[in-house]
């Protein structure tokens, strides 16, 4: 049981750091992110709302464990990471490794959230 908690907290903590970094880039490095979103073909007006939703997902992961909102947060992150992987892959910028790492952390966090 103790091992499961440690794995959950490490995976969720690393995922949290990754999401804080990502949201921070969206807020504080808007011009660079806008170029990236433009290359993907995404509208730039979704950058700030997307950053806020990423942070709200973290609140759901940490404070609503085992509840309906928590499941939706995991699902939202799952689809966001899948789409991020393919967006980076399709434009060929070689940045899809971040999405793969985030997906691995998300899956480990989800599996171990069910064990504790």
Q: Is 99 left (phi over 0), alpha (psi -120 to 50) or beta?
A: alpha
Q: Give the tens place of pLDDT for each residue, 75-99.
A: 999 999 999 999 999 998 888 999 9
| Phi/psi of residue 42, nearest 5 degrees | -90, 150
pLDDT value for 76? 97
Report the distance separating Cα 56 and Cα 64, nearest Å.
11
Q: Give the tens place of pLDDT for each residue, 8-60.
A: 999 999 999 999 999 999 999 999 999 999 999 999 999 999 999 999 999 99
Residue 39: how many other CB atoms lie within 10 Å: 14
């Amino acid at each position: 049981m103790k091992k499961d908690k440690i794995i959950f907290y490490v995976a969720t903590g690393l995922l949290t750091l990754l999401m804080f970094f990502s949201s921070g880039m969206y807020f504080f490095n808007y011009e660079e992110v806008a170029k990236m979103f433009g290359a993907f073909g995404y509208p730039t007006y979704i950058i700030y709302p997307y950053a806020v939703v990423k942070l709200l997902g973290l609140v759901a992961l940490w404070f609503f464990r085992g509840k309906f909102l928590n499941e939706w947060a995991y699902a939202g992150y799952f689809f966001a990471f899948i789409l991020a992987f393919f967006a980076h892959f399709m434009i060929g910028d070689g940045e899809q490794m971040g999405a793969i790492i985030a997906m691995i952390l998300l899956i480990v966090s989800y599996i171990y959230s069910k064990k504790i």
